[in-house]
Amino acid sequence: MPADTLVQGRLLENLRLAVHDIFSIEGIRFDAPFPPHQHAIRLSGRFLLDTETAYNRIAARAQAEGLMIFFREEAGETLIYAVPGEWPVSKPNWRLFGILLAATLASVFVVGGVTPQGIDWPAGLSFAAPLILILLFHEFGHFLVSRHNKMSTSPPYFLPFPLSIFGTLGAVIVMRSPPKNRKHLFEMAVAGPLGGLLLAIPFLFIGLKLSTVGPPPANTSYIQEGNSLFYLLAKWLVFHQKLPGHGVDVQLHNMAYAAWVGLFITGLNLIPVGQFDGGHVAYTLFGKKAPMLRYLVLAMFLLLSYWYRGWLLWLAMIFFLGRGFAVPRDDLTPLPSRYRTLGFVMLALFVILFVPLPIIFVP
């Protein structure tokens, strides 16, 4: 409910003390809507220091008075929003993490190791162990960087899916409060894909070395994994030919298949919209212009769904859930220039890791 006059006066005085030597106030508004908060104090004016230093000082002073601080620019105005409350502090639920990890490991093992003839332990482990390690490195990249930057995040929660051809839907980390600035958001976003790639790339090349090239199964239907630009290049480097081609294809070792799945999931995570890792990177680079990428991504999935119907589900998901981006508390301080090159590299990784036709059913 709106703050009464006495409370408004106290909050405003505390806020004035927090910003007095940092921000020149030109306008004040009480009970300003600031979704999801309805009753914020809104200051307009100009900063007397650079915004990164300003946020650190104002936020620290205001936190002692029970206020959460946000920097924004709206309609050409430089704004500070102050919301009564405290940032949530999460206690990691390691028991849930362990249960879901064990369930996902079992689910992935079933995909790689259970056959009509029984359980093939070497095959199951050669698929499950590399894939789980890739996902662990990806998700703990997010988690460890988040904790280093004092962001309130959950441990990675793995998602078993034994009825799929992968055995998992990957994993998620819950971000319980906004990152402080674009730098923190960027570091958290790129740490996951880069961590996963540290294992996925060597596992792929080792797995391809253990694989063979030959004709596909005769007189039977089968499932063929799709090509990304990177996967095509990797097969060419190992086998010195474009595969599939000339009536032959690579017969994947389970480690190579696990790496392919890990790279496929990484490519999906780098989609530059919404709450995906690529969406975080896009927002740190382009700010309020980042949502324009959503229309390009929707057009891409609509086109690709002509050849692979599974993209229709992603099309719907991005249409309904891909609007919102993770906006930092300080949304005025730009991404440091030394990070921008890596940001564009991450967008390029999406292009070379994305698999346009992930699964091909060959009758």
96-149: per-residue pLDDT in tens? 999 999 999 999 999 988 888 889 999 999 999 999 999 999 999 999 999 999
Give the rounded percent of residues in the chain with a pLDDT score beyond 90.
77
Shared domain for 100 and 53, answered yes or no, is: no
Question: Mean pLDDT score of the chain, rounded to an integer?
Answer: 92
Domain of residue 27, CATH code: 3.30.1240
Q: Per-residue pLDDT for 363 more than 80?
A: no
- Domain boundary among the residues 28, 49, 84 is at 84
Which pLDDT score is estimated for 164? 84
Which pLDDT score is estimated for 105? 95
Give me the phi and psi of 158, to 5 degrees please: -80, 150
Shared domain for 122 and 266, answered yes or no, is: yes
Shared domain for 21 and 136, answered yes or no, is: no
Shared domain for 219 and 173, answered yes or no, is: yes
Q: Per-residue pLDDT for 231 more than 90?
A: yes
Give the rounded percent of residues in the chain with a pLDDT score beyond 70.
98
Which pLDDT score is estimated for 152? 87
78 in a structural domain: yes
Shared domain for 51 and 109, answered yes or no, is: no
Which pLDDT score is estimated for 48? 96
Q: Is 228 exposed, middle or buried, given 0-12, 13-18 or 19+ CB atoms closer than 10 A?
A: buried
CA distance 97 to 158: 7
Residue 51 to residues 32, 137, 244, 334, Cα–Cα distance (Å): 22, 34, 54, 9
For residue 33, the enclosing domain spans: 5-84
Q: Per-residue pLDDT for 322 more than 70?
A: yes
CA distance 216 to 251: 8
Which pLDDT score is estimated for 321? 80
Q: Dump pLDDT digits (tens) for 1-37.
A: 455 665 667 888 889 999 999 999 999 998 899 988 8
201 in a structural domain: yes
Shared domain for 177 and 216, answered yes or no, is: yes
Shared domain for 270 and 332, answered yes or no, is: yes
- Domain boundary among the residues 65, 84, 103 is at 84
Lowest-pLDDT choice from 105-114, 212-221, 261-270: 212-221
| Domains: count for the chain | 2
Cis status of the peptide bond prior to 217, with omega within 30 of 0: no
CA distance 92 to 133: 20
Angle CA(294)–CA(351)–CA(265) in degrees, nearest 5? 85
- Domain boundary among the residues 59, 84, 109 is at 84
Shared domain for 52 and 98, answered yes or no, is: no
Which long-range contacts (C-beta less than 8 Å, at least 24 apart) are formed by 61-68? 61/17, 61/18, 62/14, 62/15, 62/18, 63/87, 65/11, 65/14, 65/15, 65/17, 65/18, 67/11, 67/14, 67/15, 67/18, 68/329
pTM: 0.93
Which pLDDT score is estimated for 229? 98
Which pLDDT score is estimated for 1? 42
> Where residue 162 falls among pLDDT bands split at 50, 70, 90?
confident
Better-scored residue on pLDDT, 166 or 7? 166
Average pLDDT for residues 345-361, to the nearest whole number?
A: 95
Which pLDDT score is estimated for 323? 83
> Where residue 95 falls among pLDDT bands split at 50, 70, 90?
very high
Give SS3 for 140. helix
Q: Dump pLDDT digits (tens) for 276-317.
A: 999 999 999 999 999 999 999 999 999 999 999 999 999 999
Shared domain for 246 and 358, answered yes or no, is: yes
Q: Per-residue pLDDT for 65 more than 70?
A: yes
Q: Dump pLDDT digits (tens) for 73-91.
A: 999 999 999 999 888 877 8
Shared domain for 189 and 69, answered yes or no, is: no
319 in a structural domain: no
Which pLDDT score is estimated for 50? 96
263 in a structural domain: yes
Average pLDDT for residues 55-61, to the nearest whole number?
A: 96
296 in a structural domain: no
Which pLDDT score is estimated for 5? 64
89 in a structural domain: no
Shared domain for 79 and 121, answered yes or no, is: no
280 in a structural domain: yes
Phi-psi region of 274 (alpha: psi -120 to 50; beta: other; left: phi over 0): left
Shared domain for 160 and 238, answered yes or no, is: yes
